[in-house]
Structure formats: C-alpha cells, structure tokens
Structure 1
Amino acid sequence: MNTAIQLRAALADRLTENGTLTEPEWSSAVRAVPREFFTSSYFLAVAGSVPTAYRPVREGRTEWLEGVYSDKTLVTQLDGRTRPGDMADGTVTGSPSSSSTLPSLVLRMWQQLGALAGHQVLEIGTGTGYSTALGAHRLGDANLTSIEYDPVVGRAAASALKAAGFAPRLIIGDGLRGDPDGGHYDRIIATCSVRYIPLPWLHQVRPGGKILVTLSGWSYANALALLDVTGPGQARGRFLPGYTSFMIARPHDRPPRPTLALLPGEERPSRIAPAKLDDWTGGWVAQLAAPSAERMGAGAEQILWDVSTGSQARTVPDAKGGWDVVQRGPVRLWDRVERAVQHWQDVGEPHQQEFGITVSAAGQRVWLGTEDGPGWDLPV
C-alpha cells in the first residue's frame, strides 16, 4: 500500500503532466499539504441509486486513502447537517452541502487568481480547509483570511488546519458580507457560487485587485468569472474557459418551494429546441434570462418554475417532430429564454469565455461579445 507522502507526490506528478500545475510553488503545496487531515471521512455515491444514496468511507479502510488522493470531489456533508463521521455504516440520501473540491479545480483556480507572495487574500468558503491550507502554504498564514458560513464545518476545518501546521485567520460568518472587520485585499477567491457579486467584496478589494468567483442561480447553471476591480463598487471581467461548478452560497440559494403542480396555460410552438438548455452554456444563458426560475426536466421536456411569481413554462414534443411550450403566470418564462438562446445561437453558440461582466452603480450586467452586445442584468 502506498503511503500518504507517496500518494501526494503521485498526485502532484499527475497534475503536472496533465497541465493543471504550471507553477512550481503550487506543486510544492500539493506535495506538502496532507489532504487526509481534511477528509478523515467522506461520502461516496452509490452507483445507480435513485435518489442518489451515499455511504460513508472512514479513515483506516482500504479505499479511504486512495480516495483522498484521487482527483475527485469528496462530499463531506449532506443537507447542512449529516456528516460521514457521525453515522453508522449503511447508506443515506440527501443533497451535498459541503465538500472537498477536486484538487485539480482548486489548484487551477488558485493559479487563475494570480495571487503572489505578499498579496492579502480573502477566501470565501473554508469548507474542509484543504484549499485554505494550499493557499496558506503558498502565501503564508498572515496573508490569508478564510470565512466559513457553517459553524460545524468551520470548526472542523480549524482543527484540521492546526493539525496540519497552518494558522491562517479564520472567521465563522456570512462570507457574502466580506470581512466583518473590513480590510483591504488584493484578491478574493470564492469556493461557492453566487447569483451576483456581493457589494462588500467590491469595496474590500483594492482597485487593481481581482475577484475570482463562480456565478450560478436557481437553475444551477455555473460560469467562472475573473473580475478586475476598477474602483470602489466597480469591476469588469470575463468568463473563463473550462467547466467550473460549485454549490451555491446558502444565503443565495432558492427558498423552499411547495410540491410543483403543472397547470394548464397558453400553448404555442417553441422557436428553439428545448434540449439546448441541457448544453453547459445554453442552460446558463437561459438562467440569465430567467434568473428567478428553477429548471427541472431535460431534453424535449423542460420545466421552468418562477420562484418569485409561481409562473410556469413546460415544453413537450409535438406530433410533427417539433416542440410546443405551455406558459402561465405573469412572467412568460419561455419567451425570455427563447430570446436569449436565439441571441446565443445567432453568433454560433460560443462557450462562456465569449461573455463578460460589468459591475457599476447602475447594476451588474453580463454581456455577450462586447459591452454593447446582448446582455442580461443579474438579480442584485
């Protein structure tokens, strides 16, 4: 059996060979930081289970350490309360609410952030603390502050960081409000997604600094953006290549909804193929157009339900090989989605990296191509 030191070295080698690790300082961090301290137990999904069931994997089991040093996300909490170390053997269902993100994504984001020795960095979402430890190794404890929303998760991360020999500044609180003591940071990195850029971040990063964050929404489509802060409350940025997703920050998550009943409404032919919403960027464009809607269904049978008004839209195949849409309520959700998706299709269905974002006193706007191109306001 390989030791943890050997597995860390092997992980660093794999991430270097596949192009993830491009800076020696971050390679050194991977080789030095013991991920097993932060994932002493985790959940694995049971293949083929519906709804998804999870079983705990604990320290000492044959598969545990190999899993720790796989390039995989390890779920460490379900439904904001169930942790693998707190349950007996067996399985449990639930929605992941905390995890140790796959190392390749964590390291790619740290490098995209461009944080250097001497930079003051604010991390939103401590999670297990593994990403925090990597950052502390590279930047130094005194240069890193990390905020965790969940007190149980935060206390566990603090213990793991101390055991691993790191002592960054840790805060339990709402990271969307930024550093409760204020502060002037050179960088902010978020390991959760948000519906819009929180205003405190824009005032706590120095002009010329950067914010790296995943934008998501109630349809759970995701896009990673790197913003340059141009002044207090102002920023401009682009979305980055690749496919990045994170759990949405709990204060930005949708409110609980009642059981959804599909009701009759106005019916007409759809002008777009509903399956376009299953495309990574297509679904995100649809979310920009209908930011208060939750998306369900797939393929030809999409369902949109507006959290704010109860408006509905659903698509169904028609007898001629096309698709019909049924809409009801004050917001014509499919009309909005159609227009946005058609704009995207008209320019060749580009990846999110062809989009940008501008933040100003007027609001927060995502645009396609150039700032004067088609755009959508974020729900600030």
Structure 2
Amino acid sequence: MNDDELREGLVGLLAERGRLHSPQWRETVLATPRHEFLRGGFFRHVPDSMPTAWAPVMPDHPDWLSACYTDESLITQIAGTIVPADVRGQILREPTSSSTLPSLVVRMLEDLQVEDGARVLEIGTGTGYSTALLCHRLGEDLVTSVEVDADVSARAAAALGAVGFVPNLVAADGLAGHKDGAPYNRVIATCGVLRIPREWINQTVPGGIVLATLCGWMHSSELVRLTVHDDGSASGPFLGGRVSFMLARPHHPPAPGMLPDTSVGDSRETEVGANALDDWTTRFVAQIAAPNAQRLQLGEAGDVLLDVEAGAWALLYRVGDTWRVRQGGPARLWDDIEKHITQWQGAGAPGLDRFGLTVTPGGEHRFWLDTPECPLPAAG
C-alpha cells in the first residue's frame, strides 16, 4: 500500500479504538504523513532479548513504511545521542526519544480542547509529528515547540519544513516553557514530569489549559488537565488510561549508589506488603506519599524503597505469610505510604480518573478525590 492508503487505515484504526472523534483532527491526521518524520529510521525491539536489545529499521527496509503507520511508539534515539543510522546490528542502551504512538498523540490533542485561534506551547518536539498536527489544525504561527536536545530539534525542523510547516521551534529546557512567546491558551507536554512547572502555569492565560503527564520514580503516571485560574493557581482532573512518557531529562532519578545497611533500623509487621506496589494505581498513591522514593526489587531479599536525598529507606520482606518492614533514616517512608494506601483502600480504591490536582500559586501540589473539597493526605 502507498502512504495515502496507510494513513486512511491509521485513521480508521484510531476511530475504531475511540481515540479520534472530531472531524478537524480526522482531517489533520489524514493530511499529515507520519513517515516524513521517520526518514532517519527507528529502532525496533529485538524479540526475546534480555536485556532489551534494539535494532535499526531504515527507510530501505521493506517494513519501514508500513511500520510508520502502525499504532506504536517508535524509538528514534538511544542513550541520548545514538540514532538508527549509527548502529549496525543491535544496541542494548536505554531509549531517550521516540515518535509516540498515534492513538496517544491524537487522544492528547483532543483532550487539549483547542479552539481556532488558540496559541499553543508544546513541550517536547521529538520527531515533530505532533507539532505538524498542531500546525495543520491551528496554523504554524500559533505553534511554539520546545525541545531540550538541539540535534532532535534540528531533525524535527527539517521534517516539518519538508511537509510545509515552519513553526517557532526552540532548542532549550522545556521545563522553563518559552516566556518570549507567552501568553499561551494551551500548553501540552509530550514528556513526563515529577511536578508541574510553575512556568507553564505562569505563561498560560486564565482559563487556559495545561495538559501533562505526572510521573514518579516508582514508574506510575497519569495524564492531568489543569485549568489556570485568575489567582495563578491551576486545577483539574486526571484523565485515566495509564498514560506514560519518558521523563523530562532533568527529572530523572538520582543514582541509588550504595544500598543502606538494612540490618539496622526499626522493624514491624505491615498489613500492606511490597506486592501491593505491583499495581499501577497503588504505586501512584504511594508516590503521592513518598514523591522522592525509588523502588528496588531484590528478589527473595525483598524490596527496598529509597529516598536518596533524604537518606531514608524501607526494606519490605516476607517472614512466612507475613510482611515485615524495616526502616531507617530521618523519615519513615513506609509509614507514610502505608497510611496513604490504607486510606485510599478504605475509600473503595477509586481509579485515577477520580483523582485531581491543584497547583497553588506557590507551586504546592495538592491531590484530591472527585472535587478539590475532598483532599487526599499530603506527603509526609
């Protein structure tokens, strides 16, 4: 099939999956050739590899064009600098940039609730595909996109130019937004963040929307849509669906370093075991309680939760059928997590689509259930 037929097939698939609703975005996806943003190739996961290996797929590969129109995320950069053309064979490093699966791109663009004439700030240009969709829908003069990696930004600029768009592309730290182009009616982030930057809110007009994925170092995340208020605060619901993005590079966790001496510290039984953290929503609740904690799974030795900067830790381990926790450092990590999880379970273990967030003018993050008048416990 040619790319026009493949695009039609992708549009049909997205509509069938309930990700594409509006006629404006349908027309936009039909008109935007995703393959033009993947001319540099992509990396494909090597089946059954352990640890995960990646192999390049270049435009001369017989599967390249059809793969560009699958509803999949396609990895375009490894280890911060390596692109598909750099590799012969396989590579075992971690992905650092990708072309997000189209169903998530379109879902987020519809969740952004743009209107004609809206000025949009996009955080994370990536390949430029979602930037092109915004340009087609709104016009390139209304789109600003910020990318932390100058090489990635340059490749996106070339691809956007090839399809006829010249938006305002900025190579800089997107966590700072782009003050020179403010104010914006909409801000959309295609990377995960630990906290919503105040700059995004400050650069958005009252009544405008900030759409971003809030993440944590225990690897749970969710999409939140905040409406900016006159007093400088912003609030809104989490939208559900287990949305996940690569973390913004400045928000990567610190290296755990040497593990603490877990033979010391206070020990007690706990009704909530480490296996509770295998659940996505439970981990999100745990992250609210301990936003700077990482989880290290040590097999039969148990699980260690570690707040590197605070020096606090908790070891969870089994004794027969009983879970025990040993904690050390200046704070009791598991006490806080257990309290939050227990209260959440007592409320019926609601899904994340019932959670919400308020960011105060001072930058404090306050989580709530159903309405801001029903706050969840704060961290600590």
One-letter amino acid of the counterpart of residue 318, structure 2: P
- Does the C-alpha gap of structure 1 residues 232 and 202 become closer, same or farther in structure 2, counting only changes over 3 Å? farther
TM-score w.r.t. the length of structure 2 is 0.94
Answer whether contact 1:55 1:92 (CA < 8 A) is retained.
yes
Matches within 5 A, 1:1-380: 2-40=1-39, 41-88=41-88, 90-231=89-230, 233-260=232-259, 263-265=262-264, 266-297=266-297, 301-319=302-320, 321-362=321-362, 363-377=364-378
- RMSD (CA atoms): 1.9
Secondary structure of the structure 1 residue equivalent to 2:63: helix
| Structure 1 CA distance for aligned equivalents of residues 117 and 244 of structure 2 | 29
One-letter amino acid of the counterpart of residue 216, structure 1: C
One-letter amino acid of the counterpart of residue 204, structure 2: V
Secondary structure of the structure 2 residue equivalent to 1:71: coil
One-letter amino acid of the counterpart of residue 53, structure 1: A
Query: Where does the alignment leave 5 or more consecutive residues of structure 1 unmatched?
Result: none
- Does the C-alpha gap of structure 1 residues 272 and 24 become closer, same or farther in structure 2, counting only changes over 3 Å? same
Tell me how far 1:280 sits from its aligned partner.
Answer: 1.4
One-letter amino acid of the counterpart of residue 177, structure 1: A
Tell me how far 1:18 sits from its aligned partner.
Answer: 2.1
One-letter amino acid of the counterpart of residue 64, structure 1: W
Work out the percentage of aligned pairs sharing the same amino acid: 44
Query: Where does the alignment leave 5 or more consecutive residues of structure 2 unmatched?
Result: none
Tell me how far 1:376 sits from its aligned partner.
Answer: 4.9
Tell me how far 1:47 sits from its aligned partner.
Answer: 2.1
- Does the C-alpha gap of structure 1 residues 202 and 260 become closer, same or farther in structure 2, counting only changes over 3 Å? same
Tell me how far 1:262 sits from its aligned partner.
Answer: 5.7
TM-score w.r.t. the length of structure 1 is 0.94
- 1:17-68 CA-to-partner distances (Å, cap 9, x unmatched) read 2221101111111111111111121111122222211111111211211211
Secondary structure of the structure 1 residue equivalent to 2:159: helix
Answer whether contact 1:209 1:228 (CA < 8 A) is retained.
yes
| Structure 1 CA distance for aligned equivalents of residues 79 and 188 of structure 2 | 24
| Structure 1 CA distance for aligned equivalents of residues 248 and 158 of structure 2 | 23
| Structure 1 CA distance for aligned equivalents of residues 370 and 276 of structure 2 | 20
One-letter amino acid of the counterpart of residue 20, structure 2: L
| Structure 2 CA distance for aligned equivalents of residues 172 and 34 of structure 1 | 24
Answer whether contact 1:196 1:378 (CA < 8 A) is retained.
no
- Count of aligned pairs: 376
| Structure 2 CA distance for aligned equivalents of residues 197 and 330 of structure 1 | 27
| Structure 2 CA distance for aligned equivalents of residues 298 and 354 of structure 1 | 33
Answer whether contact 2:122 2:143 (CA < 8 A) is retained.
yes
Pick which of 225-234 and 358-367 moved more.
Answer: 358-367
Answer whether contact 2:231 2:361 (CA < 8 A) is retained.
no
One-letter amino acid of the counterpart of residue 34, structure 1: P
Tell me how far 1:373 sits from its aligned partner.
Answer: 3.3
Tell me how far 1:348 sits from its aligned partner.
Answer: 1.3
Secondary structure of the structure 2 residue equivalent to 1:373: strand
Secondary structure of the structure 2 residue equivalent to 1:218: coil
Secondary structure of the structure 2 residue equivalent to 1:316: strand
